[in-house]
Amino acid sequence: MKRGRVQKNTNMCSSLTPCLVLLLSFIILPLCESFNYGQALSQSLLYFESQRSGRLPHNQRVTWRHHSALTDGLEQGVDLVGGYYDAGDNVKFGLPMAFTVTLLSWAAIEYGEQIAGAGEYAHALEAIKWGTDYFIKAHSQPNVLWVQVGDGDTDHYCWQRPEDMTTSRRAYKVDADNPGSEVAGETAAALAAASILFKRTNPHYSQLLLHHAQQLFEFGNKFKGKYDESVGVARGYYASVSGYMDELLWAAIWLYKATEKEEYLKYLLENAYGFGGTTWAMIEFSWDNKYAGVQAIASMLLMEEQHKKHEAILKQYRSKAEHYLCACLNLNNNLTNVERTPGGLLYTRKWNNMQYVATSAFLLTIYSDHLQSNGQNLHCHKAQVGPHDLIALAKSQVDYILGSNPMNMSYLVGYGPSFPKRVHHRSASIESFRGNMGFIGCTQGYDNWYGRPGPNPNTLIGALVGGPDDKDQFQDERRNYIQTEACTYNTAALVGVFARLHASEGESETPLIASSK
């Protein structure tokens, strides 16, 4: 059922216009809440430490976690120790893990200075490297990529800390006979993006990442196939609905950014139409669907002199990027906008809606800065808007997440006075390994911990949960995984936005007024 398109903001600060009024009347100004984005940034990076699999380092800050899954891959004769647990369970899913690392790397590329300014750059690189170290191991031969360890069905049968796991840790791969272009493409994108970051501080590692990225892209491109047809156990959890063409374009554009080699640009241009890059108009950006990301980056290339000769195709990419951004801004012709809750939250779908909110906040922020530095506006069907309108929307979404919402609750765990206390997360909901090293069995976890009405014993700081429904309502219950589970790619999309908003804190608010609506 489609909800009405009228945007009703019950929240004073999440809408631009009431804020303008408040800004102009100084007496009421303090009513406009201000959030501590620096703290949110620190917390968001901490979250990745709670999701770590493998042998934890001495500087591990999340101390309720311990070493786990130290024999991953052993059955298949490959070392797959490390990487990230995906969400509230203990499976390592390659596709969303790679998307998480691509998002984190993009954030650190775009907002490295701002992240460093908040004292968090080392943590950001650690979060990225925890993923890329794993991808290097998982890419054990040029045409072999291990894309999953464990499986959702046996994992979900138990409620266990990763430290105690007794569930299957079977590993699954894609190869020339069983291809998986989505996961090869996304992993290539992640490694290429990360290689940009390590170029200066660790050139050898950067080269290694790039080498793997190039091979993985070749593999995914040469042996085309849907990964969830090769790896059936992924289908019930991370089925690729959008297919693999978006990931191949995505990998190509990140490889182009990392190498500046013409062959990757050529790939992006020659496959623009055939792969849907210039034909699909999107209203979401997610672990499955990368088109909006490809389109946004392609459209930013347009501003660079050396790309002028490719203007025709890049402009087609730009028009699709604009479609996405205008849909978020509610400025497309009425049927192709992103819905909003009465409280002003972008609303895509019921299950883990926050992932889409976070990715749109990220793309809006990046594109806003792009427009700003090129002195440009965004042309939507209903209006032409300036960079400040884009960042204002991103900020309103982040402020909603941090507590400016009808539930008066922060959906970033650990932030502010009120946040979800019963996150659907195995290790957070069971007493910590440090406190009790005794084995907690498969069903014992369900019996003794899952069903408890009380709060989780461990706080999953920095996790962005699935969030409220289309009426801004949220039930903080462990079994309500649609709303209370968090995923690594939710938080990953917010890192850059927090850093950007933190850096601009204290700057004059007047640009908001000077919007060109």
Catalytic residues: 89, 424, 476, 485
207 is a contact residue toward ligand NAG (CB under 6 A): no
Cα dist from 139 to 136, 169, 266, 389, whole Å: 5, 18, 26, 42
State in angstroms the smallest separation of the CB of 406 from ligand NAG: 6
> CA-based diameter of the chain, in Å?
69
Judged by beta carbon, residue 201 or residue 334, the one nearer ligand NAG is 334
Q: Yes or no: say if 487 and 413 are a contact pair by the CB < 8 Å rule.
A: no
71 is a contact residue toward ligand NAG (CB under 6 A): no
Judged by beta carbon, residue 71 or residue 408, the one nearer ligand NAG is 408
Tokens of 31: 């009513």
Q: Which residues contact 6 (CB under 8 A, 6 or more apart)?
A: none
Judged by beta carbon, residue 102 or residue 332, the one nearer ligand NAG is 332
Q: Which three-class secondary structure state does DSSP give residue 148? A: strand
State in angstroms the smallest separation of the CB of 404 from ligand NAG: 10
State in angstroms the smallest separation of the CB of 5 from ligand NAG: 5
Q: Which three-class secondary structure state does DSSP give residue 438? A: coil
Q: Which three-class secondary structure state does DSSP give residue 227? A: helix
CA distance 410 to 430: 22
Q: Which three-class secondary structure state does DSSP give residue 59? A: coil
Q: Which of 91, 85, 157, 89 is nearest to 426 (CA)?
A: 89
17 DSSP assignment: H
Locus of tokens 């659907």: 424
Tell me the HSE value of 74 on the side-chain side, using a 13 A CA sphere.
8
Judged by beta carbon, residue 278 or residue 332, the one nearer ligand NAG is 332
334 is a contact residue toward ligand NAG (CB under 6 A): yes
Judged by beta carbon, residue 13 or residue 268, the one nearer ligand NAG is 13
Q: Yes or no: say if 331 and 386 are a contact pair by the CB < 8 Å rule.
A: no
Q: Which residues contact 1 (CB under 8 A, 6 or more apart)?
A: none
Q: Which helix (H) or strand (E) holds 339?
A: strand 339-340
State in angstroms the smallest separation of the CB of 502 from ligand NAG: 25
473 is a contact residue toward ligand NAG (CB under 6 A): no
379 is a contact residue toward ligand NAG (CB under 6 A): no
Judged by beta carbon, residue 334 or residue 443, the one nearer ligand NAG is 334
12 is a contact residue toward ligand NAG (CB under 6 A): no
State in angstroms the smallest separation of the CB of 408 from ligand NAG: 4
516 is a contact residue toward ligand NAG (CB under 6 A): no
State in angstroms the smallest separation of the CB of 3 from ligand NAG: 10
Size of the site for ligand NAG (CB under 6 A): 4
Pick from 63, 373, 408, 436: which binds ligand NAG (CB under 6 A)? Answer: 408
Q: Which residues pair with 145 in a beta bridge?
A: 174
State in angstroms the smallest separation of the CB of 345 from ligand NAG: 15
Residues in the chain: 517
State in angstroms the smallest separation of the CB of 32 from ligand NAG: 14
Q: Which residues contact 28 (CB under 8 A, 6 or more apart)?
A: 21, 22
Q: Yes or no: say if 22 and 12 are a contact pair by the CB < 8 Å rule.
A: yes
Judged by beta carbon, residue 295 or residue 405, the one nearer ligand NAG is 405
CA distance 438 to 151: 25
5 is a contact residue toward ligand NAG (CB under 6 A): yes
CA distance 294 to 321: 8
7 is a contact residue toward ligand NAG (CB under 6 A): no
CA distance 88 to 73: 21
Pick from 23, 144, 407, 482: which binds ligand NAG (CB under 6 A)? Answer: 407
Phi, psi of 228 (to 5 degrees): -80, -5
Judged by beta carbon, residue 73 or residue 343, the one nearer ligand NAG is 343
Judged by beta carbon, residue 441 or residue 455, the one nearer ligand NAG is 455
State in angstroms the smallest separation of the CB of 407 from ligand NAG: 5
Q: Yes or no: say if 227 and 247 are a contact pair by the CB < 8 Å rule.
A: no
CA distance 62 to 78: 28
443 is a contact residue toward ligand NAG (CB under 6 A): no
Give the binding site for ligand NAG (CB under 6 A). Answer: 5, 334, 407-408
